Structure 1
Amino acid sequence: MSLLAASGIEAGYGQMRVLTDVRFEVEEGEFLGILGHNGMGKSTLLKALCGEIPLTRGAIAFADRDVGKLAVHARARAGIGYVPQGRQIFPALTVRENMLMAALGSGRPATVADRVLAKFPRLQPIVDRAGGVLSGGEQQILALARCLCGEPKLLLLDEPTEGVQPSIRDEISDTLLRLRRDFGLTLLLVEQNIQFMQSLADRVLHMEKGRVSAGHDEAAGALAF
């Protein structure tokens, strides 16, 4: 069953169009990967899906609801979670405060933050430490945990391995697979690390010049480049 469907979407920045007639679906419970070189529109696609940039054409259906014109916070409350490239945590807030902000901002009770924290053993000893003093890998894990405090049905994850050491990369992969098993999480992953992509994705699409190529052969080719 399709959880997300993008139908001919186009978007960009001002007069510069980045996405052109993008069409694809994400099945409920699926881990879908998007591969492509820098500048091909991968991050722009995630921003368009979560509402950070408006569509100029096309439609986005999520859980059988048209969400293409909803604001960012409305899409988040509908169940679309987004972890951007660069993490964008609150550096002056503690780990716990970052998570509480995410839960309350999404209309969830504060107890959700404690439930999510229990799934992230690495964060538990540093829960009272400011986000800004964490390592890059710890910040990435915090960004993921913070997003999950909104209890998303679909997680949009942009370049999670960037600047992260291999042990943390493996930990993120294991955590996502565990969350899928325990909660039926659906994931749309933008990534350039092929090994990480192979460890997670059921299916891989290739993005080039603002367009998405679908199909088994093209996906296999994307993994090979």
Structure 2
Amino acid sequence: MTLLTVAGIEAGYGQMRVLRNVGFAVEEGEFLGILGHNGMGKSTLLKAISGDIPLTRGRIALAGQEIGGLPPHRRARLGLGYVPQGRQIFPALTVRENMAMAALASGRSPVIVDGFLALFPRLKPIADRAGGVLSGGEQQILALARCLCGQPRLLLLDEPTEGVQPSIRDEIVDTLHDLRKRLGLTILLVEQNVQFMESLADRILQMEKGCLSAPDNPAAPSMAVF
């Protein structure tokens, strides 16, 4: 089943167009990676899908339902989870409170937090520690755990290795593989780190100057495009 359809979208900031006729699909249970250098439009793509910036052209559908005109909170309620670049956790709240806030925002009970904490061994012992005192790697793992408390069908991950030490990168890879098995997670990942991308993605597309370097090819689901 196709979970996400992006068809001919364009978006940007004011008069500056960043995305140019971008189209691809993500199948349920798939990890799709989009690789590219800084300034190529990767983060803008995720912001357009999440609803943080409006489309000027094209359409986006989640599980067949058009979402391109919906505000971010409506998209989240339909099952879209977004872990932005920079993590954006609440520094004064504890790990547990950060996760509870995400559950409440998505209309779910905070009692689910303990179940998700159990999936993150690094977070469980520091559940009552303020988010602002965590290391960069711990904050990244918290941002992921917090997003999952909204129980998304599709997870958008923006540069999760940025500012993270190699041992934490490996831990994030192992965690995402484990979550895929346990939760049937579907992920759209944008990254610069080729090794990290290759360790996770079923397919890789490259973004350059707001365009995908080659069209998505559903007949070759394991093909990497560079």
Match of 1:106 in 2: 106
Match of 1:35 in 2: 35
Query: Hey, which bits of structure 1, 4+ residues long, moved more than 3 A?
Result: none
Match of 1:81 in 2: 81
SS across alignment from 2:20: strand
Gaps of 5+ in 2: none
Match of 1:180 in 2: 180
Q: Provide the identity percentage.
A: 74
* Alignment root-mean-square deviation, CA: 1.0
Equivalent runs, 1:1-225 vs 2, <5 Å: 1-212=1-212, 213-214=214-215, 215=217, 220=224, 222=226
Deviates more, 1:138-147 or 1:109-118: 109-118
Deviates more, 1:63-72 or 1:105-114: 105-114
The answer as to whether partners of 2:79 and 2:153 remain within 8 angstroms in 1 is yes
The answer as to whether partners of 2:203 and 2:224 remain within 8 angstroms in 1 is no
1-structure distance, mates of 2:41, 2:199: 23
Deviations 1:21-40 (A, max 9, x none): 11100000000000011111
1-structure distance, mates of 2:114, 2:105: 15
1-structure distance, mates of 2:195, 2:46: 21
Deviations 1:136-176 (A, max 9, x none): 00000000000000000000000000111111111111111
Bigger helix fraction: 1
Gaps of 5+ in 1: none
The one-letter code matched in structure 2 to 1:60 is I
TM-fit CA distance, 1:220: 4.1
TM-fit CA distance, 1:183: 1.1
Deviations 1:84-137 (A, max 9, x none): 011000001000000000000110111221111110010011111100000000
2-structure distance, mates of 1:85, 1:178: 22
TM-fit CA distance, 1:221: 5.5
SS across alignment from 2:74: helix
The one-letter code matched in structure 2 to 1:76 is A
The one-letter code matched in structure 2 to 1:94 is T
Deviates more, 1:110-119 or 1:99-108: 110-119
The one-letter code matched in structure 2 to 1:84 is P
1-structure distance, mates of 2:72, 2:109: 20
**TM-score with structure 1 setting the length:** 0.95
Count of residues in Structure 1 that have an aligned counterpart in Structure 2: 220
The one-letter code matched in structure 1 to 2:109 is P
2-structure distance, mates of 1:186, 1:176: 10
